[in-house]
Amino acid sequence: MLRGRLPVTHMSSAIAPVKPSGTAGPKEVELILVKEQNGVQFTSSALVSPSGQTHPSGEERETWGKKIDFLLSVIGFAVDLANVWRFPYLCYKNGGGAFLVPYLFFMVIAGMPLFYMELALGQYNREGAAGVWKICPIFKGVGFTVILISLYVGFYYNVIIAWALFYLFSSFSAELPWINCNNTWNSPNCSDLNATLLNDTHKATPALEYFERGMLHLHESTGIDDLGLPRWQLTSCLAVVIVVLYFSLWKGVKTSGKVVWITATMPYVVLTVLLLRGVTLPGAIDGIKAYLSVDFLRLCDAQVWIEAATQICFSLGVGFGVLIAFSSYNKFSNNCYRDAIITSSINSLTSFFSGFVIFSFLGYMSQKHNVALDKVATDGPGLVFIIYPEAIATLPGSSVWAVIFFIMLLTLGIDSAMGGMESVITGLIDEFKFLHKHRELFTLFIVVSTFLISLICVTNGGIYVFTLLDHFAAGTSILFGVLIEAIGIAWFYGVDRFSDDIQEMIGQRPGLYWRLCWKFVSPCFLLFMVVVSFATFNPPKYGSYYFPTWATMVGWCLSISSMIMVPLYAIYKFCSLPGSFCDKLAYAITPETEHHLVERGEVRQFTLHHWLVV
């Protein structure tokens, strides 16, 4: 126990740690009061257990109102539209139940370890995606990389929510507008004869024409170089989305933590209701059987494993800075290990569960039109804005089912969009401290800027810009960002030091399995994925429209603009540090709290033990 004599004349206090600094768990401190009276010093002391939200540095930070607020926020962010429109199709396409083998394999060796790593990183350092890199200053550029990626994704992701809102408003009618071809936007190619339509490439369904012509007005654009003006209907829907996002985020986690009680739980209620309705439809069981049919021969196809790995990378939401931002508002002693297991598992189970909902309706569509299931099975926006609405339109009380379905899409999208915005806001206000006092104004600036840029996606040719952003904003760049993040933490900061940090928070050191994954397995997995993303690159296209070369180049510039932050900041940091080359390198890779050790020549990273220890 440390005690100190204070040369004071009246009264003062000091705080001394009861446990050594390396001890696990929350620290108890001894408050020592020293009072001098008539030349005699009287000392009294008391043990004080600090609250969980106080970091060892002594900094106070806003925390979640309740633990469940954090869990729902993480689940709400990770469980998004892709869980509904991507995973079920991949499962069906790649061997049904057999697809779960590579999916779960990559989940265990890469998905969960990376998820756990980001939650622990944010919780211990209590800052956003850029600020956490005080643990290894030269890597701070990767923080700006993920902030930029989240910002870019917001430019087009909010547009999907606006589409869902447009469809929701359209559903409040006696007859859904995508049922027949008797509308002003329909073309001569529109046909209600759905039984033969799916085999005729020259015809279009009413649902397809409503999406492309009734909502997007795509027929009024010839390509990405002919966008036109924003459509006022979609602009209004986008404005509503932006207003909802602002008032969900403006006060920080105290407000967003309450919003997710609705947005994170509503999808599960709606999915359950839709499943109960779907399984009663003719052909539904055939659809579910096709979804679950096991074809282990497909596991011999390398593409199946690549698609499983890709799905893991993007479905958990690692690399957007959101998990770091959310966990930075946790109490310091929160059990982030348990949170990582719970939330990542719920995400995967939701993806699997949604497949039953989707394929019960696809089986119904297949039987109704007397066509093979692969003629109606698709992924992406086409599934939730064309195929599924078309299926709903054939049900009794179709307007009610449409309203229920699009409310689900809205809630799936809103909390994911909130997560992306929070990553940007937290990351920047933690980096530029003066913004803390002006969070409301800064949040307004971010959401309004996002709205103005998103307007380009609600023009007549906006779907082309949307497709370009979707293809390049968070593809190779996010894999690259997570790779650099994993290398920076496991190798430069040190997996042993990182494990000590976790032990200090939760009183339990990560097992050998997690440390091996962080140091070897996950970086190798991510490096493989970066190489594959370059090797399998296909230029973007929408339907039969192929983007011009200049558009593809613009897309690559967008992707590179976030990745280049890593080397640019590393060069800036290295050049701005004092001393010789070795001194600069030592300061650049040593945690800011240990720079005094560099002055004494004690640099952990310059020892062989640092690189070999696990």
Could you tell me the strand order of the sheet in which 40-48 lies? 11-17, 29-37, 40-48
Q: How sure is the predictor about 200, in pLDDT bands with cuts at 50, 70 and 90?
A: low
Please compute the mean of the pLDDT values over residues 175-180 and round it to a whole number.
93
Give residue-wise pLDDT tens across range 37-47. Answer: 444 444 444 44
Helix (H, G, I), strand (E, B) or coil at 204: strand
Look up the pTM and report it: 0.88
Whether pLDDT at 427 is above 50: yes
Q: How many distinct helices (H) and strands (E) make up the chain?
A: 29, 5
Mean pLDDT of 264-270: 95
Q: Rounded distance, CA 517 to CA 323, Å? A: 19
Q: Is 83 annotated as a binding residue?
A: yes
Q: Judge whether 455 and 437 are in contact, CB under 8 Å.
A: no
State residue 55's pLDDT score: 52
Mean pLDDT of 424-440: 94
Q: Which CATH architecture has domain 67-189+222-574?
A: Up-down Bundle (1.20)
Band (377; pLDDT cuts 50, 70, 90): confident
DSSP code of residue 99? G
Side chain identity, residue 54: T
| Widest Cα–Cα separation across the chain | 103
Phi, psi of 48 (to 5 degrees): -125, 130
Residue 558 CB neighbour total at 10 angstroms = 18
Q: Which residues in 49-171 belong to E strands, given as ranges?
A: none
Report which of 207, 249, 248 is spatially closest to residue 425, judged by C-alpha positions. 249
Q: What is the pLDDT of residues 446-482, one digit of tens each?
A: 999 999 999 999 999 999 999 999 999 998 999 999 9
The pLDDT, as a whole number, for residue 237 is 98
CA 235 to centroid of chain Cα atoms: 25
The answer to whether the CB of 329 falls within 8 A of the CB of 427 is no
Handedness of CA 178, 180, 185, 188 (dihedral sign): positive
Mean pLDDT of 120-149: 96
Q: Is the pLDDT of residue 584 over 90?
A: yes
Alpha carbon distance 190, 185 (integer Å)? 10
412 annotated ligand-binding residue: yes
347 is in an annotated binding site: yes
Give the per-residue pLDDT at 324.
97
Q: Is 413 annotated as a binding residue?
A: no
Q: Which residue has the higher pLDDT, 516 or 58?
A: 516
- pLDDT of 296 > 60? The answer is yes
Q: What is the pLDDT of residue 9?
A: 38
- pLDDT, residue 82, reads 86
Q: Is 416 annotated as a binding residue?
A: yes
Alpha helices in 384-494 (DSSP H): 388-393, 398-431, 439-454, 462-472, 476-487
* Phi, psi for 190 (deg, rounded to 5): -70, 135
363 within 8 A of 285, measured Cβ to Cβ: yes
What's residue 77's pLDDT?
A: 95
Tell me whether strands 40-48 and 29-37 are parallel, antiparallel or unpaired.
antiparallel
Distance CA 151, CA 144 (A): 10
For the chain, domain boundaries: 67-189+222-574, 577-613
Gap between the Cα atoms of 302 and 316, Å rounded? 22
Q: Which residue has the tokens 């690559």?
A: 556
pLDDT, residue 45, reads 44
Q: How confident is the model at residue 379 (pLDDT cuts 50, 70, 90)?
A: confident
Alpha-carbon separation of residue 477 from 147, 150, 480 (angstroms): 12, 11, 5
Please, are residues 453 and 537 in contact by the beta-carbon 8 Å criterion? no
484-539 pLDDT, tens digit each? 999 999 999 999 999 999 999 999 999 999 999 999 999 999 999 999 999 989 99
Whole-angstrom distance, CA of residue 356 vs CA of residue 292: 9
Question: Strand pairing partners for 380?
Answer: none
Average pLDDT over residues 542-552: 94
pLDDT at 194: 53
Token couple for 195: 């039984």
Contact criterion met (CB below 8 Å) for 519 and 499: no
DSSP letter at 40 equals E
Residue 375: pLDDT band by 50, 70, 90 thresholds?
confident
Helix (H, G, I), strand (E, B) or coil at 17: strand
